[in-house]
Structure 1
Amino acid sequence: MLPPILQNLRIPVVASPMFIVSGPELVIAQCKAGIVGSFPALNAREKDGEPPLLEAWLTRIAEELDRHNQANPDRPAAPFAVNQIVHRSNARLERDIEICHRHKVPIWITSLGARVEVNAAAHDCGGIALHDIIDNRFAKKAIEKGADGLIAVAAGAGGHAGPQSPFALVQEIRDWFDGPLLLSGAIATGRAVLAAQVMGADLAYIGSPFIATDEANAQPEYKRMICDSSAMDIVTSSLFTGVSGNYLAPSIRAAGLDPDALASADASSMNFGAGGAKAKAWSQIWGSGQGIGAVREILPAAERIDRLAAEYDRAKAEMARL
């Protein structure tokens, strides 16, 4: 059984939080269209001496969604989520937890380490905590430390993708866990959303298709590259963050590197403090999942969600006839 906050979505989809790309405009559009919108807390970066931008983002999102709900009582917005990077190099974590707790963020997504205190903060303000994992061992640790649900990041996902097949990963988790389970990995169509549910997941976790939307905080060249690329253009490398991730080969070539001959880096090179020098150096290396072959044009987020919903409904109807 899903917790109430994840029930009654238009379609069973949570939009994943994307580095730089996800901001208030995209989150608000996603929630108004009926799916959970999310953003990384670290995307809200203020200059030295300025008040925390995260405060302003959370206030804006809450106020705009409240106005939408008052004007559309028969079509309320979906809830939103904030992603916390709990890696030790994130010097802002404690501050951002306090801000999210005070603003009563309804859904907390944690990455790169399971932390008891972050889950406790989410619960204390009435929220739920979902933790992303790449294998069954990390899944068990996350639940032991108080997460309410899991996000299985399987092969083909954008960002820090895992190496395992979604069939294997979901199967192993469902052997012992019957709580909320989201699946990430090359999901870009409504049919793929339904397939995730058939495999045993409750919801699909979708990122890359939303890069090619009007509201995404992405460079026009990045959005166009998503539309012009396919699974064959995705390269897996640890060079850029210290953790294995999936990236667009054309952006790697544009940076003067050979995507077929990239060096490796280890987890000790990860740095989420003030953006990290390496993050700035690789700012033109663009992440993406393998599902982008289904993305061929830049659209408003609401229209992309309309298409997902129509595809999902058609797929369900086709399955019913089998």
Structure 2
Amino acid sequence: MTTKRVLPPEWAPQSAVMLTWPHPGTDWAGLIKEVEPVFENIAKAVLRYEHVVISCEHVARLQELERDLNRFAEQSGFPGRVKAVPAPANDTWARDHGPITILSDDKPTLLDFRFNAWGGKFPSEKDDALNNHLLNAGVFGTTAMQQVDFVLEGGSFESDGRGTLLTTSECLLTPTRNPAMDRTAIEQLLSEVLGVSRILWLNHGYLAGDDTDSHIDTLARFCAPDHICYVACPNVADEHYSALAAMEEELQEFRQADGSPYKLTPLPWPDAIYDQDGERLPATYANFLIINDAVLLPVYGVPQDEDAILVMKDIFPSREIVPIDCRPLIYQHGSLHCVTMQIPAGVVS
């Protein structure tokens, strides 16, 4: 008897959101005071709707966090929603090292893909082992976890929940991830493991300061099975203009499984933000997180933030839009979606 596998969309009911907390042993060492409040704001926003799973390498700091966030949850009327686990980590990008959950005959199964820090760019052995730490700590209850010998990051694909995967060739076909596999082999593996029936490949799309080789979650996102929002650059003089205009044309050519075009919504283009060395940082409103009854939206302290909030309210009229200042996150080349991983319903209780 064949097992039916479904990769749920982000808007499917969730039990928790996973956060891997920054510590002084990571690249955040010089920015801890700036970045920890961002993580705290994300955790508190999530706690109003579902559980938070927090891991941290520094046990004393983890105990403080567990105490403070439990107090916040209790005062907010949601006691018992904080799950805290001591675990080593190289970095904080839970989207990419966290487990990917599928529904196997309607029951959740955790998939633990290999993580090699976006093609060996940084140390990753602790992050690659993190999901097993969480499993052994009992965070996932009785949910089974399957090891998959394939490098795949959660930020590199989007699911419509109906068998369609959206991704970028720049990322999935980079030879530093799975050098022995070509596009056909990768499509076959993803079809078998994730249960998807078709893959939409974007061949264009670019964000300055991005370490991930064009992760889809910084460029284009499913908002519903028939709706994609995407990053659009209106400034012809901007270095992003050509690549993002080409991406927009590709999105316009994409078709749903029934042959109809997608509804497409362009997102505002934030003013350029640079670090102290003059390097442009990857600020994008596409890096939002959908949770139960809400959307957490990264904002950056630029004039376009208000427009982004209005666009999100229009896209998700039945969800609360929660803006979170993520400017400190982009100094390490990621944003809100990159530091979170949702865990579907039925896993964390």
Q: Which has the higher strand share?
A: 2
The question of a shared fold, defined as TM-score above 0.5 by the shorter chain, is answered with: no
Greater length-normalized contact order (CA 8 Å, ≥ 6 residues apart): 2
Q: Which has the higher helix share?
A: 1
TM bin (shorter chain):
0.3 to 0.5
TM-score for the superposition, normalised by structure 2: 0.33
